[in-house]
Amino acid sequence: MKTTARSAWIALSLVGLTLLPSQAKDELRVSYPSKVESSKGKEREKLFSKWMSSQAVMAHNEEMWKKGQQLVYFEFDSAQNLWRTIHSSKLQFKGPYSWRAFIDEKEMETQLNTEIKIGRQPAFIVRENGAYAMLFVSPEDMDAVRTELKELGVGEPKLKK
C-alpha cells in the first residue's frame, strides 16, 4: 500500500512537472514590434501633439475624445518622461481600449499577456525613445484602427508563443 501511494504521488508529480513548461509556452512574446515606416515620418510629425507630461497628456486625450477625436498612435520619451499623441476623427472605438508605455521588456510582455487575456489585442507595439509604446483595442475595433495605423505607416506587431 505504501509503495502504491508513493508511486501514485511520483506519477502525479511528474505529470505536474510536464504541465508547467506548457503553461509558460502559452504566454506570448513579441517577436517583432510594429514596423514604423520612415517614409511617412514627415506626415506623422505634422499630426503629433506637442510633447506633454503624463497629467497633461491624459487631459489632452480627454479633450480630444470630447471633440470626437480618437487616440490612434502615441510616443513616450522615457528620458524626459514626456508623451505625444496622434488622434483621428475617422474612428471611435466601440469597445474598451488601453494605451501603455514600458521601459522594461518583461513588464511590457506581462502587460501584453494581461491585455490579451481580458480580450484586447495589440494594435501596435513600438520601441522608440527608450520605451515600448502600446495601444490595445477590442477585436471589433481592430480593423478600423489598423486602417488608420497603416495610413500613418505603422505596421502590426508580430507575436509568437
Spatial neighbors of 28 by CB under 8 A, at least 6 apart, are 109, 112, 113, 116, 159, 160, 161
Residue 20 inside a domain? The answer is no
- Please indicate, yes or no, if residue 21 is contained in any of the structural domains: no
Kindly report, residue by residue over 117-151, the tens digit of the pLDDT. 999 999 999 998 889 999 999 999 999 999 999 99
Domain-located, residue 91: yes
Nearest CA to 76 among 136, 130, 153, 148? Answer: 130
Q: Does any domain span residue 121? A: yes
**Which of the four pLDDT bands, split at 50, 70 and 90, describes residue 29?**
confident
Q: How many domains does the chain have?
A: 1
b/e code 54-85 from CB counts within 10 Å (16+ = b):
eeebeebbeebeeeebbbbbbbbbeeeebbbb
Looking from the CA of 59 toward its CB, the CA atoms found within 13 Å total 5
CA distance 110 to 150: 26
Contact assessment for residue 136 and residue 123, using Cβ atoms and an 8 Å cutoff? yes
- Judge whether 14 lies within some domain: no
Question: Distance of alpha carbon 43 from its chain centroid, rounded?
Answer: 23
Show the domain range for 122.
27-160
pLDDT tens-place string over residues 65-113: 999 999 999 999 999 999 999 999 999 999 999 999 999 999 999 999 9
The answer to whether position 12 is within a domain reads no
What nine digits make up the cell of 34?
A: 510594429
On whether residue 11 sits in a domain, the answer given is no
Question: In this predicted model, what pLDDT tens digit does every residue of 31-41 receive, in sequence order?
Answer: 789 999 999 99
Q: Which of 62, 46, 67 is nearest to 99 (CA)?
A: 62
Supply the pTM of this predicted model: 0.80
- Please state, in angstroms and rounded to a whole number, the distance separating the CA atoms of residues 90 and 128: 26
